[in-house]
Structure 1
């Protein structure tokens, strides 16, 4: 039996690979996508999500438009590793969708999909957690319908947007704290410590592009992102952060997790958005998160290649 899956996203190059992995995986049934500000503006993330689903032959999936800004403080305007349009300037290489966004906003769409589900739904938030915080605040009675949150975000040993904060958590720390610290929904956190180690090489991308026209289009979205990660990594490759989280949703247990108590720094200082992980084993905490820090990296890359390389076959 397939697992119903919803992806909350801010596409984003690695988000594109994440959506493609969900579309290519028979273990899950992608029943909805919700969009949020983040890598680029909400207008761009929504357009990118719709066009990516068109590329993947999944125009049937409803797309709910979500939050355009964080819960409390305005989002700083910074240049994006993903290019001005979120997809390295190549968003226009994607097909136009056959329909627009769902008339329901993201929270209403999430509510309806959860309410209608006949089995627990996995939600994979791979952008700022604003939509998920709003859902849990407005509709706490629906929490039993959520089988698991698989969240890409946070850095256990430091950040990427600041010295201590990872981009998704930093973008809306108050929302992240609500979801990761205050709520009692089963949650797996996939931090950048692991996703960065799962980076793929430019040769991996070249080989993937040779598998199908769909894969070639997907790889064609990577130039700006790849150029940024060449500097970040110090070698010719790029991280596919969000696809790693979807891989865990597709195959629960693929990533090795350890439960830890956490907090999120919501102060307005240099540590704003930092994930605070208490690794003292003797601590008896009321809530822990399953934080994935280990994986068979070569096996994970092979899994991603196998699934994404089959996209053209599935069209």
Structure 2
């Protein structure tokens, strides 16, 4: 193993594009996946855990630990719906694969995050692909977690573009706005990739169907993405899918492919724009303190070499 290989925990709600990201990570020499933590989002949490076991089986990595996470939001709200029209009832495009038996980590996802990061301070990257509930709970339970984590890479937000749940809000921040706002108040080394980037990156229909028969994972990915492609055709009138979760992984693999802006962020927790992410980009010296003033500055991706990102991801998905 390369001494510079990053240790990676993926906090995930699989989900078709989560599966793409996780399996791509398995084919990436830059990272060693040391755990999966599951959360609600694309599916309910118990389904997310089952799907994590399935992904690890496909990858031949069933020894990687899976820690089941929160079933309710950071504010204690019960999750009562999932976007089955995007990912299917099972999260894998209604393929209804046989259930894989796996062994769960005995504690919660937050416990796993705290324990793993504390044991290797500064060395573990957490890639958060779903609502930030597990990360928020870890930060709440262990105030040292934010400073111990090597880097926190978040898929979430829509900063200078419309959302995808409604015009204001991106799905992960909409799923748990209180968690997102809390996490972005903490002093972690944080990078965020939102819809500003992921709507710039696409996999075309022919590229997805072309994965069939390629490498270790290609047929699995080609099968589950058919449903996802149909959703994009119906909702966006495009023969392609937006690259959300894999683009966030690309931040871990090749951050130089992205252009960054630094600022302080609030996530709205009430109003018609609940879940909206608003960044103070620092272009003005304010005369009076405001709700952003004491926030840590984080990096938000504002541009991307989309061709390089999608070519890298597709190549690794087909290995």
Shift of 1:74: 3.5
Partner of 2:49: 46
Moved over 3 A (4+): 73-76, 283-286
Change (3 A) 1:230 1:280: farther
Q: 1:63 and 2:66 equivalent?
A: yes
2:11–2:126 CA contact under 8 A, matched in 1: yes
Shift of 1:306: 1.6
Instruction: Answer with 132-141 or 231-240: which moved more.
Output: 231-240
1:91–1:221 CA contact under 8 A, matched in 2: no
Structure 1: 5+ residue runs without aligned partners?
Answer: 311-315
Q: 1:183 and 2:183 equivalent?
A: no
SS state at 2:134 partner: helix
Match of 2:78 among 50, 74, 78: 74
Structure 1 residues 218-260: Cα deviation after superposition (integer angstroms, max 9, x where no partner): 2211122111112333210112201111111122333221112
Match of 1:83 among 62, 74, 88: 88
SS state at 2:309 partner: helix
Instruction: Answer with 273-282 or 145-154: which moved more.
Output: 273-282
Partner of 2:289: none
Calculate the aligned-residue CA RMSD, in Å. 1.7
In 1, Cα distance between equivalents of 2:200 and 2:317? 19
In 2, Cα distance between equivalents of 1:118 and 1:161? 36
Q: 1:159 and 2:163 equivalent?
A: yes
In 1, Cα distance between equivalents of 2:211 and 2:52? 21
Structure 2: 5+ residue runs without aligned partners?
Answer: 287-292
SS state at 1:183 partner: coil
Q: 1:262 and 2:265 equivalent?
A: yes
Structure 1 residues 72-121: Cα deviation after superposition (integer angstroms, max 9, x where no partner): 2333525421111111111406x835x32222211111122112226521
2:41–2:82 CA contact under 8 A, matched in 1: no
TM-score of the pair, normalised by structure 2 = 0.91
Counterparts of residues 1-16 of structure 1 (less than 5 Å)? 1-16=4-19
2:146–2:186 CA contact under 8 A, matched in 1: no
SS state at 1:209 partner: coil
In 1, Cα distance between equivalents of 2:51 and 2:134? 18
Partner of 2:290: none
Q: 1:110 and 2:119 equivalent?
A: no
Partner of 1:313: none
Structure 1 residues 159-204: Cα deviation after superposition (integer angstroms, max 9, x where no partner): 1112201110001100000012x10101100001211211210111
Counterparts of residues 237-276 of structure 1 (less than 5 Å)? 237-267=240-270, 269-276=271-278
1:155–1:193 CA contact under 8 A, matched in 2: yes
In 2, Cα distance between equivalents of 1:36 and 1:282? 38
In 1, Cα distance between equivalents of 2:33 and 2:96? 22
Change (3 A) 1:210 1:274: same
Partner of 1:298: 307
